[in-house]
Amino acid sequence: MRPSLLRLQPRFVLAALASALVFSPATAQDPPKPKPAMSESDEIARYCAALGPSIVEARAAYQLRRLEELEVETREQVEKLEAKERAARDWVLKREQMMKTATDDVVAIYAKMTPEAAAAQMASMDDQIAASVLAKLKPGAAGAILAEMSAERAAKLSTLLAGAQPADKS
């Protein structure tokens, strides 16, 4: 009797599978080898080495950002100092101009006057001129003249003498 094709087919399939399993490259390979255990210091070193470049980049970026902030702060401080320097120069120029307006002759005239008469004359004078004359007088003579003036006028001229406010403020 002849075996049927159906009976041969399962045998053929089983034989083919068995030979495929025996001779396949998957069975010819060795099982994966476990990685050798790394020591803790090796793991730390590997971790640090992996993070090293990004840490350096982050530090450089921080330092660059901080430098830019400091540059802005420095520019602002320089601008403030330059403004203060300009104000001081302006004050010195105004003070020098005030001192030039009182000539030595005018000062000599007011020095010989009585404090009452000098105060009466200075009451109608321009603030700058009166302050410059008082500045060139001896302190005793200037004090006597200021004592004869009204308190408001004496305070205004004293403020100008001290240089605390510009002459054009009223």
108 and 94 belong to one structural domain:
no
Report residue 168's pLDDT band, with 50, 70 and 90 as the boundaries: very low
**Of 42, 64, 98, at which residue does a domain stop?**
98
CA distance 98 to 82: 24
How distant, in Å, are the alpha carbons of 32, 53, 87, 128 from that of 90? 87, 55, 5, 15
- Higher-pLDDT residue of 3 and 157 is 157
pLDDT digits (tens, 9 = 90+) for 57-79: 889 999 999 999 999 999 999 99
58 and 84 belong to one structural domain:
yes
Provide, rounded to the nearest whole percent, the portion of the chain with pLDDT above 90: 39
84 and 127 belong to one structural domain:
no
**Domain of 128?**
102-162
Residue 164 · residue 95 · CB < 8 Å: no
In a domain, 147, yes or no: yes
107 and 58 belong to one structural domain:
no
Residue with tokens 């403030």: 80
Report residue 34's pLDDT band, with 50, 70 and 90 as the boundaries: low
This prediction's pTM: 0.42
In a domain, 168, yes or no: no
In a domain, 57, yes or no: yes
Report residue 26's pLDDT band, with 50, 70 and 90 as the boundaries: low
Q: Note the pLDDT of residue 169.
A: 41
pLDDT digits (tens, 9 = 90+) for 75-91: 999 999 999 999 999 98
81 and 106 belong to one structural domain:
no
Domains held by the chain: number? 2
The average pLDDT across 86-104 equals: 82
Contacts of 120 (CB under 8 A, 6+ apart): 148
Residue with tokens 């009466």: 120
125 and 81 belong to one structural domain:
no
- Higher-pLDDT residue of 167 and 60 is 60
